[in-house]
Amino acid sequence: MKILHTADWHLGKRLESFSRMEEQKKVMQEIAGIADHEEVDMVIIAGDLFDAFNPPIEAEELFYRTLRQLSANGHRPVLAIAGNHDSPDRIEAPDPLARGMGIFFAGYPSSQIAAVDNAGSFRITQSDEGFAIFSLPGINYPVRVLFTPYANEFRLKAYLGSANEEQAMRDLLQQRWKNLAAKYCDEQGVNILTTHLFMMKEGQEAPEEPEDEKPILHIGGAQAVYTNNIPSQVQYTALGHLHRRHAVDIPDKGVWYSGSPLSYSFSEANQDKFVNIVTLEPGREAVVEPVRLTQGKRLLRKRCEGVEEALKWLQDNQEALVELTLVADDYLTAKDRKRLQQAHKGIITIVPEIKNMSPENKTKSIDLQQSMETLFGQYFRSRYGQEPNSELMDLFKEIQGEKDNT
């Protein structure tokens, strides 16, 4: 059997004031076309379906229209789980109607998908909290899916239960997954896990979360989960949250972030985007093949010496969205800024870099390419003459992570 694994759609997201909706419409159409061309049996969307708890109407319409296409009008099952940008209740609200079209939603770690017989196209023969068994046409073995939507430690303990308040989230998840795998999974079927969490190999340095992404690894959020927490029966783990497609640990373990379909911040500049096509059969390692997405605009960072060099480069890169660093003897005039903006409609940010700046002015300059935490620390030092303590920095990260939920 074949599945299409995608994640981190972030429908409704903007890049500063620049709308990405037209790109999102095109790339959603492209993903639906790939599902048909590859003749996949199932689609898994591993969270961050929207960019905010209350997405714009246009984003919701695009979401449901895309799911209908992916489901081939009810003949192909589509499973979508909530990410840390999604409202679990909003994600689950249309489930009673959607399941008739072969579309299934899970918002919470304890969510349970109702058994269904979809007019001979496929069946859900058994389900449990965070687990479902699919019977697909032409596939003579069961397809078992363990699913865990995003949840912080409080929500996990509230929904999954923990006798020990100090029990680490990863231990709680490992035990939960182990129990489900022991009960339902063997080598006579295909076994899949999908979740929206920060996963890494134990002992390795944690990869950076995307710039402009709500951080998971912060106070009140979730701990990193390790690949060795995944049950041995699982052949493929479909992850969401990190925007760069990559295998966690080693490719043979079948633990993958598919990445986002578009580059959503300049930390993803010049990054190719993909969906994963995964071929699975009982008792064998997953075969994972990337299919490159082509419909999104490239994000480019460019440093130019002067306005004339910038104008020439911009003319040659009309289809990109641009963060332009302009090196000059003085700050950009209104006339030159207008020339740049007229030369290219996709300039998102212009970062001035002044040469031969006096020591007094240099101390006042701001490098806007630094992280929000670094900029906040610099502001605090300039305002109060001391470093912000760890409690204040934790609070700042918490506010930054939750700002889009209000």
Q: Please tell me the predicted confidence (pLDDT) of residue 257.
A: 97
Q: In what order do the strands lie in the sheet with 255-257?
A: 116-117, 123-128, 131-135, 143-148, 190-195, 236-239, 255-257, 246-247
pLDDT at 169 over 60: yes
Taking only the tens place, the pLDDT of each residue in 345-370 is 999 999 888 876 655 555 555 666 67
At 402, the pLDDT band (50, 70, 90 cuts) reads low
**CB contact at 8 A, 243 and 264:** yes
Task: Give 281's contacts (C-beta < 8 A, 6+ positions apart).
Answer: 1, 141, 190
Q: Where are the beta strands (DSSP E) in 280-393?
A: 287-293, 299-305, 321-328, 347-354
Q: Please tell me the predicted confidence (pLDDT) of residue 214.
A: 58
Instruction: Report how far Cα 385 is from the mean position of its chain's Cα atoms.
Output: 38
- Nearest CA to 201 among 153, 165, 253, 275? 253
Mean pLDDT of the chain: 87
**Which residue bears the tokens 């995003």?**
150
**CATH of segment(s) 2-293:** 3.60.21.10
Mean of the pLDDT values across residues 7-25?
A: 95
- Of 172-176, 202-206, 267-271, where does mean pLDDT reach its minimum? 202-206
In whole angstroms, give the CA distance from residue 322 to residue 263.
12
Mean of the pLDDT values across residues 39-55?
A: 96
Residue 358 neighbours by CB distance under 10 Å: 9
- Of 117-126, 281-290, 291-300, where does mean pLDDT reach its minimum? 117-126
pLDDT at 311 over 90: yes
> Does 43 or 332 have the greater pLDDT score?
43
Q: Please tell me the predicted confidence (pLDDT) of residue 165.
A: 46
**% residues pLDDT > 90 (the chain):** 63
Q: Please tell me the predicted confidence (pLDDT) of residue 222.
A: 55
Helix (H/G/I), strand (E/B), else coil: 51: coil
Helix (H/G/I), strand (E/B), else coil: 259: coil
Mean of the pLDDT values across residues 69-96?
A: 93
The pair of structure tokens assigned to 2 is 């074949």
Q: Please tell me the predicted confidence (pLDDT) of residue 121.
A: 82
Q: Please tell me the predicted confidence (pLDDT) of residue 160.
A: 64
What would you report as the CA-atom Rg of the chain, rounded to the nearest whole angstrom?
Answer: 23
Residue 295, phi then psi, degrees to nearest 5: -85, -15
Taking only the tens place, the pLDDT of each residue in 111-165 is 999 888 776 688 999 999 999 999 999 999 999 999 999 987 666 666 666 545 4
Taking only the tens place, the pLDDT of each residue in 366-390 is 666 677 778 888 777 766 657 788 7
**CB contact at 8 A, 227 and 238:** no
**Which residue bears the tokens 């090196």?**
327
**CB contact at 8 A, 260 and 10:** yes
CB-hemisphere CA count at 13 Å for 400? 21
Residue-range domain boundaries for the chain: 2-293, 299-405
pLDDT at 211 over 70: no
